[in-house]
Amino acid sequence: MTRLFRAITGSPLVLGSVGVLSLVLVVPLLAAHMQEVKAVRETALPLLATLPALERRLALLKEQVEVTELDAALKTGSQLERIRVSILPTEADVPRALAGLELLRSTLESQGVIGSLSPIEAGKEQARGEGLAAVPLTFQLSARTEGLKRVFAFVRLAGMATVGDALTSSEKNALIRATEEENPAGIVMLEQFFSADLFSYAREPRPVEEQLKRSLQSEGFMAAFRQATDTSLLKDAKELLQGSMGPALERAHLWPMEFLAIDRIELKPGSTPDWYRLTLSLSLVRRTG
């Protein structure tokens, strides 16, 4: 038996077969090992390379949260009180809302962009759910195209207190993304811009804007900023409040205005070109608790 084993194992043919078989078995193992090394290079190494940047970003975000929370602690109380008392009070101040609309009429009439305004009809208060109630207000007026634009801007601005209130979610998100791409730490300055007083900003926007631009100057951010300030309700706020309407509201102590929601709009051509007849149904909203 021993001689037979030695004869078989000593045969060149057998040894060659064994070598080929071993090679066949080893090749898949080597391939698997090479694939694993490749996976490590493609996945683990890039992650390791980004760890320092991620750690720095985490530290910045923690710092931003702390600063933002401190800023909110200093400002939120007064802003919330302002909103509760003036914008969403527990009692609907119909006379104050009517005074604001009458001031709008007289101001726009003096500018020649609005004509007659019918008596404003105040309906019976209705529950709106979620702790809200509303008094319906309906009136008709004749106005030019520019007058209609200012009436709608006035109504849309009613109930707003900060710059951020006048921006849509998509407009704010575009500014946030542009800020994070340039400098994540700039989020604090951007939040201060969002929380700036809307009336003061609209009357004199340059100081607030320049403060933000000193911290964020990339082309991407400036493009998003111009888009947000030149095409949003902020543009309408500037046009409305930088004219005679702003000082008039301030003298009459009618800003901030109570929250007005548009329920129905009916627009018909007037008797002369560029004049229209508008029927507008609004809701004067209040808190129920």
Give 193-248 pLDDT, tens digit per residue. Answer: 999 999 999 999 999 999 998 888 898 899 999 999 988 899 999 999 998 999 99
| Number of other CB atoms surrounding residue 174 within 10 Å | 19
Hey, what are 96's tokens? 């104050």
Is pTM beyond 0.75? Reply is no
How is the chain split into domains, by residue range?
2-52, 56-84+163-237, 89-149+257-287
Contact 79, 87 (CB under 8 A): no
The CB-based long-range contact list for 231-235 (8 Å cut-off, 24+ gap) reads 232/166, 232/167, 232/168, 232/171, 233/153, 233/156, 233/157, 233/166, 233/167, 234/163, 234/166, 234/167, 234/201, 234/202, 234/205
pLDDT attached to residue 35: 53
> CATH topology for 89-149+257-287?
Alpha-Beta Plaits (3.30.70)
Classify residue 242 by its DSSP letter. T
Whole-number Å distance between alpha carbons of 258 and 112: 26
Mean pLDDT of 117-144: 92
Whole-number Å distance between alpha carbons of 134 and 261: 9
pLDDT tens for each residue of 10-42: 555 444 444 444 444 444 544 554 554 444 444
* Residue listed under structure tokens 């070598």: 19
Q: H helices then E strands: how many in the chain?
A: 12, 6
Q: pLDDT grade, residue 130 (50/70/90)?
A: confident
185 or 108, higher pLDDT: 108
Residue 262: which of 279, 245, 247, 274 has the closest Cα? 279
278: left (phi over 0), alpha (psi -120 to 50) or beta: beta
